[in-house]
Amino acid sequence: MLTSIKSLLGLSTITLMLSVSLIAQPAPGDTEDDLPKDYLTKDFHTGRRIALRNQMPDNSVMVIFAFPTRTYSNDVEYLYHQNPDMYYFSGYKEPHSLLLVFKEEQHDSLGNSYNEILFVQKRNPKAEQWTGRRLGIDGAKNRSGIQTVYNATDFKNFNIDFSKFSKIIYDRFPADVPDGFDSADLFDLIKQFKEKSEMPEQLKEQKRFDNRLFIELTAGLREIKTAEEIDLLRKAVEISCHGQNEVMKTVHPNMSELEIQGLHEFVHKKHGAEGVGYGSIIGAGENGCILHYMENTKTKVGNSMLLMDVGAEYHGYTADVTRTVPVDGKFSQEEKTIYQIVYDAQEAAFKTLKNGSKWSDASQAAKDVIAEGLIKLGIIKYKSEVGKYYPHGLGHHIGMDVHDRGNYGTLKKDMVITIEPGIYIPEGSDCDKKWWSIAVRIEDDLLITQTGYELLSHFAPRKIEDIEKMIKEKSVLDNYKLPPLESGKKKGF
């Protein structure tokens, strides 16, 4: 998109001419037929709202805004990502929207009743030609199953008496909402909501506006996955594993971290994953010690260990899978030793998992194995030092967010979680030099069952010998050859 969006607002002759033919036509995407068959259904979103309403306190309303759009460069926006809570409860993926879910039936002045309202982006052929199709009212009804849908432009004059509710359940507002040209964008919707509801500045004093309850209700629902969600997560995880496998089969010391990232994401997209759930982490050698390393700028990964933490996002659900592999195909003795401790820690955590087990038991089991392993090698002296080389938690829920909403107490059937112990020994650490720059994380995605767990990410090898075997295999990606670049040749880069 190289042309300025400002010319759209200038209504140039060309945009006007081109837009005429669009006006009478419905936007593609209005019907379920235009969606991939395994998308979340209207029944899913409707069911989630029913489940929410059942748990809401009497005389309450839940308020969910879309996420803001964000600037990438000048007049270019980042690819839009919907607020997962909005998507979960409505299936609506567009910005500048607002969902209200009421505990009880409401009545308007014309005698119509409703217990949920969705305010959506107004159809606008001129804008749609530039920034994409909009569902509009009919499309949004069809997608969400919500019968009361209005254009966001109608919120300003919509007659609703927020003062009668004993609870207004809301999420904290994003701090950086741009006030665009539109008179009904997210900025205005939030402003209008604050005015209509007479939201006080000091919310802490006001128990009627309840943010804690918002988190509690959404976490309680979203941490237990429905059958449709589990299907989508299975797919996201399997795709991510295929990415890991193809990279293992292709990787060589002259590859760059960026190229490796590209190979993962190519495999994801080949299988229909729209994006990644978080910035792909491809850390060679010392870079593996940076937990959320996303620059991926090393031009040659060399004969080091390669830590790859990558998660495909498929139809709104993200996987989170990490594999750490030796680029030259063989773990050195030191690498093997550290890797095996992390592997054993992961296995120890796995053993605790089942419906009713505690997050803290899994965490402790993994931590104990890592601490004992590091003490045995003389890398630490006391158990209490383990955080030096294992500085993060054991895992988290995955779902629409990579760190998905959850209560993190007891594990329950149909939760989908990651278990990801790691050991990171940066250069200069207070231990024998031979351990320096070794970084290992093994991260798997698991479905909690009544009696144990199902390892969803079993498609990618975890054991030392299985990884070495996989690296020996050939990938179809292996022999791609691109012409070398001409630019910069004379200057030597």
> In this chain, which stretch among 145-153, 379-387, 412-420, 454-462 interacts with Mn ion, using CB under 5 A?
412-420
Name the minimum Å distance from CB 279 to Mn ion: 12
Torsion of CA 351, 355, 356, 360, to 10 degrees: 40
Using rule CB under 5 A, residue 320 touches Mn ion = yes
Residue bearing tokens 């990618």: 460
> In this chain, which stretch among 363-371, 411-419, 434-442, 482-490 interacts with Mn ion, using CB under 5 A?
411-419
Name the minimum Å distance from CB 320 to Mn ion: 4
For 61, phi then psi, to 5°, come to: -135, 140
Looking only at residues 169 through 208 of this chain, which bind Mn ion when binding is defined by CB under 5 A?
none
> In this chain, which stretch among 79-87, 165-173, 355-363, 413-421 interacts with Mn ion, using CB under 5 A?
413-421
**Antiparallel, parallel or unpaired: β 167-170 and 60-65:** parallel
- Residue 435 or 453 with smaller CB distance to Mn ion: 453
Using rule CB under 5 A, residue 223 touches Mn ion = no
> In this chain, which stretch among 19-27, 94-102, 222-230, 316-324 interacts with Mn ion, using CB under 5 A?
316-324
Name the minimum Å distance from CB 459 to Mn ion: 17
Name the minimum Å distance from CB 311 to Mn ion: 8
Using rule CB under 5 A, residue 82 touches Mn ion = no
Using rule CB under 5 A, residue 418 touches Mn ion = yes
Sign of CA dihedral 47, 49, 55, 58: negative
- Residue 106 or 324 with smaller CB distance to Mn ion: 324
Site string for Mn ion, 96-115 (x = CB under 5 A): --------------------
> In this chain, which stretch among 171-179, 219-227, 342-350, 416-424 interacts with Mn ion, using CB under 5 A?
416-424
Query: Which residues, at least 6 apart from 351, have a Cβ–Cβ distance to it below 8 Å?
Result: 365
- Residue 8 or 308 with smaller CB distance to Mn ion: 308
- Residue 286 or 320 with smaller CB distance to Mn ion: 320
Name the minimum Å distance from CB 88 to Mn ion: 20
Name which of 30, 40, 88, 45 is nearest 64 in CA terms. 88
How many residues bind Mn ion, per CB under 5 A? 2
Output the six-digit token pair for 34. Answer: 């235009």
Name the minimum Å distance from CB 228 to Mn ion: 23
- Residue 61 or 394 with smaller CB distance to Mn ion: 394
> In this chain, which stretch among 221-229, 320-328, 469-477, 479-487 interacts with Mn ion, using CB under 5 A?
320-328
Using rule CB under 5 A, residue 131 touches Mn ion = no
- Residue 246 or 444 with smaller CB distance to Mn ion: 444
Q: Which residues bind Mn ion (CB under 5 A)?
A: 320, 418
